[in-house]
Chain A
Amino acid sequence: MSNMLPSILNGHAMNEHTPLEAQVITVTSGKGGVGKTTLTANVGIALAQLGRKVVVVDSDIGLRNLDLVMGLEHRIVYDIVDYVEGRCRLRQALIRDKRVAELFLLPAAQTRDKTAVNPQQMIQVCDELRKEFEFILIDSPAGIEQGFQNALAPADLVLVVINPEVSSVRDADRVIGLAESQGKTQIYLVINRVVPARVKRQEMLSVEDIKEVLSTEIIGIVPEDDAILSASNRGMPVVCNGKGPAALAYRDIARRLSGEHVPLEIPQALGWWQRLFGKAS
């Protein structure tokens, strides 16, 4: 169990500019549509904003979307399959995100399928990327088939994204079991799209409920935020300039991954007084 090992959540004294040993982080969920791609984009950008060298990898071959969410869709020339099959060098397939200092995207191929890359090749690609980057974030496809296996194989750390909803929690349990059976020990939950008012009315699973049911550590809680949809409409993830609850939550996750100790805050529903007169009162 991940609980037995020294947890990254305890934080470790770290100068922000000390380079970190490269870490491959796989973002997965089992169920589709829970916010993996949005999380990968935002946490990737937030890590780069902290001064880290970051590459985000889209492993959803045939259904690539990370480029679109990040607003980099027009700049793709080569993709991961081109590199694996020897049509380009790795540098040529990496797209630089000019909004931040050190952030690159390795896009998936759109016209091929999951079998175009195998887990061994993904490990090799990541070993190459480890030489250049501190954080390698892999956006996994939904499901537990080969695309998921590709994304899982090179992972040092697994982020399981869930929504507070029964089918997402069940799928997450399966994914956690599969990751553990592959020898992964660093597995953390991100609870996405939490609506504090509905949790308060006891019509939505709470953070405590989910933690108890899945007995897995939580690394982030992201409240539901209207800004997310318009951010992906524009290809400008919320952490780029947003100050809303989701942007704050993604930045906290990045800081925790970067070794900082940031206490986990459970979002609370506002009372009628706060709703009327603002959160500060």
Chain B
Amino acid sequence: MEALNRFFAKSNSAQVAKQRLQTLLAYDRLEIPPGVLALIKDDIVAAISRRVSVDCEHVNVNLLHEQNSSKLVVDIPLIANRGARAVRSAGRSNAR
């Protein structure tokens, strides 16, 4: 199975090219340098952290591109305060 996966990963470089291009062109067309996303992430974390505790390690900011539109998709896991009762799922809650 491993070998099979490696075989496909190697031969399917056209698919990799297409995905990389779709992401890159979304940035190009919006004229956003890719590094700006990291800055946006820091801004969002700073803003949200003023009100609630954010699991900074797992914050995700992504540019999602569709046929004719692009949007930012932000994933911000929150941390329950120490001393408070644990969040029932014991996992992270997602604010989207």
Contacts and interface: CB of A to CB of B under 8 A. Distances in A.
Interface stretch (A4-12, A55-63, A202-210, A260-268): A202-210
A213 interface: yes
Q: Interface residues of B: mostly helix, strand, loop or mixed?
A: helix
A203 B13 contact: yes
B67 to A, nearest CB: 8
A165 B16 CA distance: 11
A166 B11 contact: no
B36 interface: no
SS class of chain A's interface: helix, strand, loop or mixed? helix
B25 A173 contact: yes
B28 A170 contact: yes
Contacts of A173: 25, 28-29
B26 to A, nearest CB: 10
Interface residues of A, number: 18
B15 A169 contact: no
A163 to B, nearest CB: 12
Contact of A206 (B14, B24, B25): B14
Interface of A: 165-166, 169-170, 173-174, 177, 199, 201-206, 209, 212-213, 215
Interface of B: 11-15, 17-18, 20-22, 24-25, 28-29, 67
